[in-house]
């Protein structure tokens, strides 16, 4: 049975994204009739509370921007303001340091590879100001972004070969924990049908995730077509705060799952999707990711996407077909 919080969320207009919260709540981003993005929370009792625009007591440096626009606000977690010359990330105190450190560590190694990362322009322990990267995301470009995918396959292996650039690790067991959290949240809220079948599929892929591992590479850990900006010459990579040491197959599998989702939703046509898969096969080979591990992480990413988007009403039109596809491919080839 759908929880009161999720039922109330699905009755709201303008929801952009949503996530499971604590104690049976759901947190959300909602764009109002005035066009402004506001964070909010739906309690376990279904009561909706929306924060004031660009206000959050746990993000002390977040204020209504005098110029630019608030484009991300996950309540009590993070916010992003886009200005004419920079992107400003607002975080909880102490949370800015990993992003600053990763951006600075990867900046030099990326030079000359055809990859770009944003430069840190200014920072405190709760705010990071980053230079803007040119281009549009590969997700937005769709069939017109194939050269960007080719650049990824050619350039990213040079960065993946530098696990020393990460200061933490991420293993198959860590990925199991991520899936377990999302599965528990979906069960708590009654977010999906076929939940028993999905649980069995998650259990199967989790057993594979911890069964073996490839040698460590540098991982982005949240690499997908929305994080990659192509301007026709260079490929920009966003959100480096998740960088870690781990199996290159995780990034490749995640990219494959997002490309499959792009095919389902129409962002990628069939010929373009085939070419993207070819570029990602090249990426896997050049990073030393074994095909079996890539497929394992691909299936794990597909299941995670199903569980994540169960909390986002905008996915309702494609999610049932995606879940059936996840269950059909739950067994290893």
Q: Read out DSSP for 270-281?
A: HHHHHHHHHHHH
Residue 226: left if φ>0, alpha if ψ -120 to 50, beta else—which one?
A: alpha
* Three-state SS at 214: coil
Token pair for residue 227? 């994080």
Note the pTM of the prediction, 2 decimals.
0.96
Q: What is the mean pLDDT of residues 281-293?
A: 97
Sign of CA dihedral 10, 265, 236, 98: positive
Radius of gyration of the chain (CA): 20
Residue pLDDT, tens place only, 201-254:
999 999 999 999 999 999 999 999 999 999 999 999 999 889 999 999 999 999
Q: What is the pLDDT of residue 332?
A: 66
Strand ranges in 108-209 using DSSP code E only, listed in sequence order: 115-117, 120-123, 127-131, 136-137
Residue pLDDT, tens place only, 317-328:
999 999 999 999
**pLDDT for residue 111 is more than 90:** no
Q: How far apart are CA 207 and CA 115, in angstroms?
A: 35
Q: How far apart are CA 76 and CA 81, in angstroms?
A: 15
Q: How many CB atoms lie within 10 A of CB 132?
A: 16
* Three-state SS at 311: coil
Contact 146, 230 (CB under 8 A): no
Report the mean per-residue pLDDT for the chain.
95
Residue pLDDT, tens place only, 50-95:
999 999 999 999 999 999 999 999 999 999 999 999 999 999 999 9
Q: What is the pLDDT of residue 333?
A: 62
The length of the chain in residues reads 333
Beta-carbon contacts of residue 74 (< 8 Å; ≥ 6 apart) = 17, 19, 27, 29, 39
Residue 5 is classified by DSSP as H
């Amino acid at each position: 049975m759908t929880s009161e919080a999720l039922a109330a969320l699905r009755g709201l207009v303008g929801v952009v994204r949503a996530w499971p919260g604590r104690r049976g709540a759901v947190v959300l981003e909602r764009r109002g009739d005035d066009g402004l993005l506001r964070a909010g929370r739906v309690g376990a009792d279904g009561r909706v509370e929306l924060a004031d625009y660009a206000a959050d007591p746990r993000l002390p440096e977040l204020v209504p921007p005098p110029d630019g626009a608030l484009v991300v606000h996950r309540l009590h977690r993070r916010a992003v303001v886009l200005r004419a010359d920079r992107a400003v990330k607002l975080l909880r105190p102490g949370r800015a340091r990993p992003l600053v450190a990763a951006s600075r560590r990867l900046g030099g190694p990326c030079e000359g590879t055809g990859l770009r990362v944003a430069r840190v322009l200014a920072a405190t322990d709760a705010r990071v100001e980053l230079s803007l990267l040119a281009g549009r995301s590969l997700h937005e470009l769709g069939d017109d972004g194939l050269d960007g995918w080719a650049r990824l396959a050619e350039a990213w292996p040079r960065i993946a070969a530098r696990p020393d650039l990460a200061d933490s690790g991420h293993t198959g067991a860590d990925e199991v924990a991520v899936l377990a959290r999302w599965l528990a949240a979906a069960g708590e809220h009654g977010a999906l049908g076929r939940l028993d079948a999905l649980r069995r599929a998650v259990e199967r892929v989790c057993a594979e995730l911890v069964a073996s591992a490839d040698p460590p590479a540098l991982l982005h850990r949240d690499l997908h077509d929305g994080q990659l900006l192509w301007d026709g010459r260079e490929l920009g990579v966003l959100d480096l705060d998740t960088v870690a040491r781990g199996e290159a197959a995780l990034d490749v599998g995640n990219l494959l799952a997002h490309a499959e989702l792009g095919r389902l939703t129409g962002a990628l046509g069939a010929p373009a999707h085939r070419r993207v898969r070819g570029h990602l096969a090249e990426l896997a080979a050049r990073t030393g990711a074994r095909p079996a591990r890539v497929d394992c992480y691909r299936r794990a990413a597909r299941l995670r996407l199903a569980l994540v988007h169960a909390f986002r009403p905008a996915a309702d039109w494609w999610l049932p077909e995606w879940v059936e596809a996840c269950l059909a491919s739950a067994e290893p080839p």
